[in-house]
Amino acid sequence: MIFVDQAKIFIRSGKGGDGCVSFRREKYVPNGGPDGGDGGRGGDVIFIVESNANTLYDFRHAKHYKASPGQSGLGSNCHGKDASDLVLKVPKGTIIKEAESGSIIYDMSDDDSKFTILNGGKGGKGNQHYATPTMQIPKFAQPGQKSKELWVVLELKSIADVGLVGFPNVGKSTLLSRVSNAKPKIANYHFTTLSPNLGVVDLYDDSFVIADIPGIVEGAAEGVGLGHQFLKHIERTKVLLHVVDAASTEGRDPLEDMELIMKELDAYNIDLNKKPQIIAANKMDAIYDASYYTALKEKYEPLGIKVFPISGVTGKGIQELLTELHNVLKALPKETITYEPTFELTETVEYSEAITVFIDEEGVYRVEGPKIDRMLGYTNLEDEQGFMFFQNFLKENGIIDKLEELGIEEGDAVALYNLQFDYYK
């Protein structure tokens, strides 16, 4: 399976079901009262961590995810069925970002992470709720709340205690396969590793996770090669383990490699080089001149970065290296590095309650706003009680007062979207 660690998707919660307009129809009850049931709740959009997942591949082609709407209410006081929630499974370490701003909404950093990102719309009330002593036969019901929608970016930042970093072919995959349960591909060509491989190291009745970050090349911080795609997987690690080819089997200078790696880490994120760091001088089994190893110790150990001579092939020196990693990790906080939200998902009102009253270029007094549109959708103006409700709506919402403030006179035209009438007190 192709490794995918970023995806942009559209999500939408379910609309609430509309309330029902219904009246009792029984043999011996000729004038039955209202019995319209409420609409069902629309489905939520929920993200959960899938323990076996390690890629966002499933989101590579499917870009739109929509929860189901709630069922409309029914007669005989029957409540519409609530819709099922839409559950999206992501790997542990996935960060959910608002697409336009790039701000963090939530970090799925725990094994049991579960996050409801969009709530489904509430179901509308049936006409039984609107019966009053003066309006015993309400012929309108409440529509269900609208759905919510959002474009988000999913970004996977692998969660590991130790991050293996180094140029291609220095032996990172071989080291990982020897010390853990990971089974990475191992071959002698550039970019053998095209995705972070994670393995669990069991040591002294304890364990920690180690990640083989794909080979870094010069210019990675500027996006050269697959730099940006892989450098982000180092951000959560607590310790950086540099792996260098101390035998220079391919003619590379391990000192220059270390300088370049440090430079790339600093350019990508200045805080990366502040993490505890250890150097594994690998391929000591193939060495015939220890000058590179000696030079590494002389340069980096005075800076507090220990250098361990190892061989990923023979296993020599690996136990001492793992013991040092274990001791360093024990001294660090146990908590996983997580990212705090920077984007607030507010429970916004589904419909703006603002009502706009103005005079257009033709001299017509216009009344607009989502609340007006909603009211017209569930009011039967052909019915006497519905018309009374309409008049009370205009008065209670201050629309009559606003019209009079604008100087309306009897006989002037008033338009509420497609409804137009002449104004009379």
Q: Take residue 190 and report the two structure tokens written for it.
A: 């550039």
Q: How confident is the model at residue 78 (pLDDT cuts 50, 70, 90)?
A: very high
199 with 61, same domain: the answer is no
- What confidence score (pLDDT) does residue 306 get? 95
Which residue is associated with the tokens 């340069």?
A: 299
Q: Where are the beta strands (DSSP E) in 14-108?
A: 45-49, 64-66, 86-90, 94-98, 104-108
Give the residue, 213 or 48, on which the prediction is more confident: 48
Share of the chain above pLDDT 90, in %: 29
- CATH at residue 317: 3.40.50.300
Integer Cα distance of 265 and 324 in angstroms: 22
Which of 296, 330, 364 is the endpoint of a domain?
Answer: 330
The closest alpha carbon to 239, from 276, 196, 280, belongs to 276
Q: Strand, coil or helix: what is 177?
A: helix
Integer Cα distance of 24 and 185 in angstroms: 71
Question: Has residue 343 been placed in a domain?
Answer: no
The whole-number average pLDDT for the span 186-201 is 57
94 with 202, same domain: the answer is no
- CATH at residue 102: 2.70.210.12
247 with 367, same domain: the answer is no
The structural domain count of the chain equals 3
241 with 291, same domain: the answer is yes
251 with 301, same domain: the answer is yes
Question: Has residue 60 been placed in a domain?
Answer: yes
Which of 156, 174, 190 is the endpoint of a domain?
Answer: 156
Angle between helix 291-300 and 254-268 (nearest 10) = 40
Q: How confident is the model at residue 288 (pLDDT cuts 50, 70, 90)?
A: confident
134 with 210, same domain: the answer is no
pTM passes above 0.85: no
**Does residue 195 surpass a pLDDT of 70?**
no
221 with 139, same domain: the answer is no
116 with 169, same domain: the answer is no
Integer Cα distance of 372 and 366 in angstroms: 11
Q: Take residue 139 and report the two structure tokens written for it.
A: 């012929």
324 with 252, same domain: the answer is yes
- CATH at residue 402: 3.30.300.350
97 with 141, same domain: the answer is yes
Which range (34-48, 194-208, 318-332, 396-410) has the least confidence? 194-208
Which range (52-66, 125-139, 199-213, 339-353) has the least confidence? 339-353
Integer Cα distance of 138 and 34 in angstroms: 7
- What confidence score (pLDDT) does residue 378 get? 65
Mean pLDDT of the chain: 82
- What confidence score (pLDDT) does residue 208 get? 85
Question: Has residue 345 been placed in a domain?
Answer: no
Question: Has residue 318 been placed in a domain?
Answer: yes
Question: Has residue 255 been placed in a domain?
Answer: yes
**Does residue 353 surpass a pLDDT of 70?**
no
Give per-residue pLDDT as tens, 360-394: 888 889 888 777 877 776 666 776 767 777 888 88
Q: Take residue 243 and report the two structure tokens written for it.
A: 């792996």
Which of 156, 173, 191 is the endpoint of a domain?
Answer: 156
Question: Has residue 350 been placed in a domain?
Answer: no
Q: Take residue 271 and report the two structure tokens written for it.
A: 């805080």
Integer Cα distance of 419 and 398 in angstroms: 18
Q: How confident is the model at residue 272 (pLDDT cuts 50, 70, 90)?
A: confident
The whole-number average pLDDT for the span 180-193 is 47
- What confidence score (pLDDT) does residue 105 get? 93
227 with 149, same domain: the answer is no
Which range (65-79, 133-147, 396-410) has the least confidence? 133-147
Q: Strand, coil or helix: what is 233?
A: helix
Question: Has residue 17 been placed in a domain?
Answer: yes
Phi, psi of 131 (to 5 degrees): -75, 130
**Does residue 42 surpass a pLDDT of 90?**
yes
Q: Take residue 12 and report the two structure tokens written for it.
A: 């939408």
**Does residue 335 surpass a pLDDT of 70?**
yes
Which range (40-44, 55-59, 61-65) has the least confidence? 55-59
The whole-number average pLDDT for the span 184-189 is 41
The domain of 384 spans 356-422
Which range (101-105, 215-219, 283-287) has the least confidence? 215-219
- What confidence score (pLDDT) does residue 346 get? 66
Question: Has residue 229 been placed in a domain?
Answer: yes
Share of the chain above pLDDT 70, in %: 85
Contact 249, 292 (CB under 8 A): no
43 with 129, same domain: the answer is yes
